[in-house]
Amino acid sequence: MAISALEAAHRTASDAEQVAWVDREDRLLGVLPRAELRDRGLIGRGTFILLFNSAGELCVHQRTLSKALYPGYWDVAAGGMVGVDESYADSAARELQEELGVSGVPLTAHERFYFKGEDNHLWCAVFSAIWDGPLQVQPEEVQSASFMPVAEALRRSQTQRYCPDSLAALERYLVQTRTISS
């Protein structure tokens, strides 16, 4: 499946976007274009928003083929890179609105953790929100989205391609919320 001209243009703009560059302790070192940060294997900041409905189902979406990392993979979280002069919370609210069309919902901050993958190195901030309204996906980044039980998403991640960074965020969230509720 080929990528559309709209997706290609979005990818070019995304690669040029200035994002926060940090060290292993999450101290800001400066800003770099997203593609340069990725190509040089440097550490950025990212947000992961776990969107649930009031029934406790998780929003899972499939990324477009034009994404630089994990093209076509399934994703258990909305999110993205933290921009210049942007807090983790501001980035989370922006990304949730851009990718899934969800805005005006309270975001609950959870933990931050360091993720080191093959192709990305991130300080990750995990948020959650509850939404029962319609989803309006950003077609340049999201092919489709739907809610499903968390157990089903985890089961599918065993046989389908899922983003490892958002899975790590979900797994950490589940451990944290089980510990809190115990």
Looking only at the bridges linking them, the beta strands covering 121-130 and 108-116 are: antiparallel
User: Residue 165's domain spans which residues?
Assistant: 5-181
CATH number of domain containing 135:
3.90.79.10
Encode the chain (182 residues) as per-residue pLDDT tens digits.
566 777 777 677 777 889 999 999 999 999 999 999 999 999 999 999 999 999 999 999 999 998 989 999 999 999 999 998 899 999 999 999 999 999 999 999 999 999 999 889 999 999 999 999 999 999 999 999 999 999 999 999 999 999 999 999 999 999 998 855 43
pLDDT score recorded for residue 181: 46
Residue 115 structure tokens: 């993720």
SS3 for the chain is CCCCHHHHHHHHHHHHCEEEEECCCCCEEEEEEHHHHHHCCCEEEEEEEEEECCCCCEEEEEECCCCCCCCCCEECCEEEECECCCCHHHHHHHHHHHHHCCCCCCCEEEEEEEEECCCCEEEEEEEEEECCCCCCCCCCCEEEEEEECHHHHHHHCCCCCECHHHHHHHHHHHHHHHHHHC
Predicted local confidence at residue 1, as pLDDT? 56
**Cα–Cα distances in angstroms (integers) from residue 109 to residues 48, 49, 91, 104, in the given order:** 10, 9, 12, 15
- In this prediction, residue 179 carries a pLDDT of 57
> Would you state the pLDDT for residue 167?
97
Number of domains in the chain: 1
Q: What is the pLDDT of residue 3?
A: 67
Residue 182: per-residue pLDDT: 38
User: Do 77 and 69 touch, CB atoms closer than 8 A?
Assistant: no
Which residues share a beta bridge with 114? 123
For residue 177, what pLDDT is reported?
A: 86
